[in-house]
Chains A and B, each alone.
Chain A
């Protein structure tokens, strides 16, 4: 028992340190998402590579290979599962429900197409290419189908903003469609997980029953959540502690995750719904802020453990299938999103942009794969295929999207163009990065006060996407410049809002100017430093006090400098 706990603590130590360095390397040196680095760390130090090397002190390897579906110890896997729940709780918190309920018809057409076609292609590929899988309702086929459906919007949002296209019709459509994709793939996962319990191939009646249960759970819990969450947060206000509110909401998300699992669905559906419900309350942002720290420690553990679960020997026999599957899944996603885009009024260029914008995959794909592995629906080999699919899509999508965006020609027909094509960028330059950052934060706060939902597009660049119903704004800081990008009809609003924030900044500076001269404060501080050397520690504070007073009386800065050089000489 003691040995197992010691091992767990040592494992976590290595995981935390390694994921940070690998994540840093991936994002800063390779310009790839941090997740990829964290997973690579897991593959390297996991039980299938370095982790298997015996260490004398431990009387065995650090990551001994476990028998059964999951190659790491149950306690480590438990912590990874907790990481996945936190991740989905936060994703829920970051979801803009207003957009989700009211997203444009274009977004939902693209989102639906981007789920249905990959689902069919993914399952069909399994039936055609995998021996032993004879029907699309076979658990393995279902999981491979669901794995093909998820989209990860972080990468796309960053590129769209770099290319100043986030508020273009293509950008808004992709952002809306991704919300729908997340919800649908999580519900589909619940269905697949429910079916995996049943041995062998499920019949359509069973699928319908479990789908009804998943959607029922979804709808009832969401409705209850959206009604109850504001009541809970209001009730919690009497304790005057936002940390307490945040803890209680996390507790509720764990509770709902457990209930979802007990009713035969996947845990993450409960976590996601709880996040979604609290995102609608006035303290949603505060809860999010407080979850950030937990996220930074637990989520890398999840990604790292996912990397550890990749069995390279299992991949040896199946990599050809993996490659074909990964490409098919990409084609399914691309065509499934691009064709509806064409139908709702985009031209070929716009459809290609939307198709490639929907390609990247990330955490949801991983979670789906891990649930499949844990439930026995897919083995180590297909898990490795899922990881391949995710890696390929994440690496291949950015260049495709960049290429499709270059040229800058409009990607929509005139009809949409009139509606929302025109976009403008307003830029302000400041004398230092700090002033720019200060104004950026104030501007974000002001948008929140106007009822906008602010979301950081990815956790490392200074890019924020702001949404309110149909209005999308992006704000980002590059060095000493703050740029706001929006549709032309929103320009007067954005200008007015920024003027008010600039005036506040001016106020702040005037306030600083009225403060006792910073030079003098500095002199006080420096003189206190030497006072410490001259006198003993006890009289130091008294000495500083008198220095300060005498200088205040004289109000004479040069004498302070004189004093300074005397004592050093």
Chain B
């Protein structure tokens, strides 16, 4: 559960509030429940599918479900999807670091440091990843909570009026981006075989709970951002959560002012886990797609590849941001929702069951 929350949270908190506010304006807080519901649906489908083949990953069973050729093709889409999210994360991360903290440090250095950590974590394996994650996740939520609490006095409720000024359309549009972020819980398709067999039946509950917590945290941020900056300002911020952190000021306790670098610290940790998770899923998926026994030999080459891709995929931060608002949600929603649903539907329709001897977890 921890897992799902942290991977989505790390990047979602970065752009989502402003993307949502851009469409829905003061109704951004209404977009999130919609997005959460969509996320819950996607999560439910993904977990159902994963539970149908508890001992295998999506790349392993798609060829059986959809036939060898299409299955391999779809499998590759998943491989690419995971790696794509990974290098998206890399770029997003380094853009913020470059913009806010390390203006002159070459972006490549920032990316390499983070990627090196991810590679190290990957060599240690999934178990260690989960352990580190547990240690850091709650401190991250704690940090966000503090940032929001520090600014709660500044939240002006009238910023949320009028409700539904421009009708429900923008609200739905605003829900698309966060909805796709919620859907990132579909990474469970790659992780299910490694979850204890005794825990597997509870995964539906766990993942939905994760979506709920995620929803609450995001809602908190959106409310704080719109309430403090006003909808118009929130929409134009490149990094609204960072802006929130920069906004903390308690005149009585000046020591708490300008402490946004501390926020950066937690956020680096969050980004690392997200990157590592998708990188892991991508590497493992590719290894399985190529029928390799061990994914480890792929780590370093793939690290180089995604680092290069993260550089060349987008020209600048403006493109990155419009991409994450207009293209990214639809592209990943396609994989998360449509493809996953399709596989599940076909599997149910054709009555395909896991291969004997492969059931159960490790």
| A, B: real partners | no
